[in-house]
């Protein structure tokens, strides 16, 4: 009995010391906040666009006092697949969903049960994890009758929503199932719809563009960004004095359509309602930074800002009327604003404007400010954070994520060529200065859209031709052949001939 008692005492002592050490390790880890804008272009950040008439002082602060990546790309030029890569560290075509986006009723969740996510990694490291905002990776709605497909009129909002972010690594989830132009217009808290869902909202044309949908009486599109901000600020304040660090994923709903800046921002920019909305996004970022500062968390919090794809606003010709002339116009003359900077194309396109986005990493006192002009991908964020914070993760489950820590430390950085994806599933490979597009068009919104894996392909040298106007496919034949071979080496079994045939000309923009 004495031996057993002694053994028990020893085990308790070991467990106590282990828990204390684990607690100390947790306390030493910084908090992490990722702010993910919706459809914000590279040129919407004034620091990236010297000609900009917009005022984005808070984003400029992140760019100037943090690390500003000016050759950063999403894995896709549309929402759902881009978010998949941020959360999992994988290219979206490795999943079952090869193109397009979910609507609000979604389908089978894009992230398979049990798959590692950025949320589960932080959870296992002892972080309190939260998501506030737009999920858009699919949930399972329950219907009024067995066998019905979730859609307008069939969902039973009194039943729990299944397979939400709550089941994908987030201790607390307060979110919208999709973009603010997709029904249903309801908030979900963990697995519960915050109803009653007793209202039908009529659809609107641009700029207040959204579809007819089911909603609650108090849901107003122009108030949603403020509402989500208040929830995010509350999460920060609640975690300010907790012993464990926190991870907040804050995917905001703007400046995606509906283009509805709050009334207090209207008329405040030099670029119409779109410019007003961009400045509201900037203010929102500033409020997050202010909340961190007020709670003495700034120096112990990593803040990352980016966007899920490029802007949806077109670049009009010099003689065309634009959004400033009339807010119902869906684009700008270059003299008024360049949402995607000087890059060709818009959201959904395989061209640079579709997937080149702002990316800033800010950790005052820990990461030296610098501008980095080297191609990186949003999928790299997962590996970067696990490397920086020495968190445990299964690298085989985030095979398209490369740690950017060497770049942050001023060391040599090597990654595989980046694979880009358009809205309709067209793919491209970026290797050094060259970009090979395996499609005979934009693969998105710009005409001709073309078709994925249909020749003639397009080859551009982005250093000599950043606007992608000079197709070198017939003059640099060996380079094109080499890059095509490299493309198929990277995609491997993730993209077979069978599912290449499934890539249809389709885009829900």
pLDDT digits (tens, 9 = 90+) for 414-453: 999 999 999 999 999 999 999 999 999 999 999 999 999 9
Name every residue whose Cβ is closer than 8 Å to that of residue 120 and which is 6 or more positions away in sequence. 168, 169
Could you check whether the bond before residue 342 is cis, i.e. omega within 30 degrees of 0?
Answer: no
Ordered by where they begin, the domains of the chain are 18-408 (3.40.720.10), 418-500 (3.30.1120.10)
Are 88 and 117 in contact by the 8 Å Cβ rule? The answer is yes
pLDDT band at 493; cut points 50, 70, 90: low
Would you state the pLDDT for residue 508?
Answer: 33
Q: Which residue has the higher pLDDT, 5 or 259?
A: 259
pLDDT band at 499; cut points 50, 70, 90: low
Distance separating alpha carbons of residues 157 and 183, to the nearest angstrom: 13
Are 116 and 88 in contact by the 8 Å Cβ rule? The answer is yes
Q: Is the pLDDT at 386 greater than 80, yes or no?
A: yes
pLDDT digits (tens, 9 = 90+) for 211-223: 999 999 999 999 9
Would you state the pLDDT for residue 425?
Answer: 96
Q: Is 207 exposed, middle or buried (0-12, 13-18, 19+ CB in 10 A)?
A: buried
89-98, 260-269, 385-394, 487-496: range with lowest mean pLDDT: 487-496
Q: DSSP string spanning 159-197?
A: SPPBS-GGGTT-SEEEEESS-TTSS-B--EETTEE-S--
pLDDT band at 4; cut points 50, 70, 90: low
Would you state the pLDDT for residue 372?
Answer: 98
Are 147 and 120 in contact by the 8 Å Cβ rule? The answer is no
pLDDT digits (tens, 9 = 90+) for 165-208: 999 999 999 999 999 999 999 999 999 999 999 999 999 999 99
Q: Is the pLDDT at 496 greater than 50, yes or no?
A: yes
Q: What average pLDDT does this structure show over 120-124?
A: 98
Q: What average pLDDT does this structure show over 306-321?
A: 97
Are 499 and 98 in contact by the 8 Å Cβ rule? The answer is yes
Tell me which range, 14-23, 24-33, 419-428, 495-504, is most confidently predicted by mean pLDDT: 419-428
Distance separating alpha carbons of residues 123 and 128, to the nearest angstrom: 7
Q: Is the Cα dihedral 219, 222, 224, 229 positive or negative?
A: negative
Q: Is the pLDDT at 503 greater than 70, yes or no?
A: no
Name the 3-class secondary structure at 292.
helix
pLDDT band at 28; cut points 50, 70, 90: confident
Q: Is the pLDDT at 18 greater than 80, yes or no?
A: no
pLDDT digits (tens, 9 = 90+) for 54-110: 999 999 999 999 999 999 999 999 999 999 999 999 999 999 999 899 999 987 899
Which residue shows structure tokens 């009653």? 196
Average pLDDT score, the chain: 93
pLDDT digits (tens, 9 = 90+) for 325-377: 999 999 999 999 999 999 999 999 999 999 999 999 999 999 999 999 999 99
Q: Which long-range contacts (CB under 8 A, 24 or more apart) does 194-203 make?
A: 195/157, 195/158, 196/157, 197/157
pLDDT digits (tens, 9 = 90+) for 262-309: 999 999 999 999 999 999 999 999 999 999 999 999 999 999 999 999
Distance separating alpha carbons of residues 430 and 268, to the nearest angstrom: 38
């Amino acid at each position: 009995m004495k031996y057993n008692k002694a053994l028990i005492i020893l085990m308790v002592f070991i467990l106590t010391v282990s828990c204390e050490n684990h607690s100390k390790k947790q306390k030493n880890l910084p908090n992490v906040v990722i702010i993910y804008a919706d459809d914000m272009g590279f040129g919407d950040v004034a620091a990236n666009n010297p000609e900009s008439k917009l005022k984005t002082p808070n984003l400029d602060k992140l760019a100037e006092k943090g690390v500003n990546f000016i050759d950063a790309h999403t894995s896709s030029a549309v929402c759902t697949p881009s978010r998949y890569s941020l959360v999992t560290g994988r290219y979206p075509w490795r999943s079952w969903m090869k193109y397009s986006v979910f609507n609000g009723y979604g389908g089978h969740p894009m992230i398979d049960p049990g798959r590692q996510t950025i949320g589960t990694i932080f959870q296992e490291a002892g972080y309190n994890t939260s998501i506030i905002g737009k999920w858009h990776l699919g949930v399972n709605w329950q219907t009024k009758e067995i066998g019905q497909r979730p859609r307008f009129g069939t969902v039973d909002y009194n039943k729990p929503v299944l397979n939400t972010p709550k089941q994908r690594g987030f201790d607390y989830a307060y979110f919208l199932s999709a973009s603010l132009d997709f029904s249903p217009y309801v908030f979900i808290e963990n697995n519960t719809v915050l109803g009653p869902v007793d209202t039908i909202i009529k659809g609107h044309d641009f700029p207040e563009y959204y579809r007819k949908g089911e909603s609650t009486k108090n849901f107003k599109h122009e108030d949603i960004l403020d509402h989500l901000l208040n929830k995010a600020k509350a999460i920060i304040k609640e975690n300010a004095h907790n012993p464990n660090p926190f991870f907040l994923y804050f995917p905001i709903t703007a400046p995606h359509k509906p283009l509805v800046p709050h009334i207090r921002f209207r008329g405040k920019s030099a670029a119409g309602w779109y410019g007003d909305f961009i400045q509201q996004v900037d203010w929102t970022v500033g409020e997050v930074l202010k909340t961190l500062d007020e709670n003495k968390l700034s120096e112990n919090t990593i803040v990352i800002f980016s966007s899920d794809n490029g802007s949806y606003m077109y670049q009009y010709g010099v003689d065309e009327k634009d959004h400033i002339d009339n807010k119902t116009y869906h684009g700008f003359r270059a003299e008024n604003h360049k949402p995607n900077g000087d890059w060709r194309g818009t959201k959904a396109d395989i061209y640079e404007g579709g997937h080149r986005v702002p990316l800033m990493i800010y950790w005052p006192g820990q990461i030296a400010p610098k501008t980095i002009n080297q191609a990186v991908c949003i999928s790299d964020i997962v590996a970067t954070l696990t490397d920086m914070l020495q968190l445990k993760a299964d690298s085989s489950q985030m095979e398209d994520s490369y740690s950017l820590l060497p770049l942050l430390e001023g060391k040599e950085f090597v990654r595989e060529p980046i694979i880009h994806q358009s809205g309709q599933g067209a793919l491209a490979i970026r290797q050094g200065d060259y970009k090979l597009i395996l499609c005979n068009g934009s693969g998105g919104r710009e005409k001709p859209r073309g078709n994925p894996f249909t020749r003639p392909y397009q080859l551009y040298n982005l250093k000599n031709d950043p606007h992608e106007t000079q197709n070198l496919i017939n003059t640099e034949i060996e380079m094109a052949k080499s890059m095509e071979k490299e493309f198929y080496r990277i995609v491997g079994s993730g993209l077979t001939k069978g599912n290449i045939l499934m890539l249809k000309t389709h885009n829900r923009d």
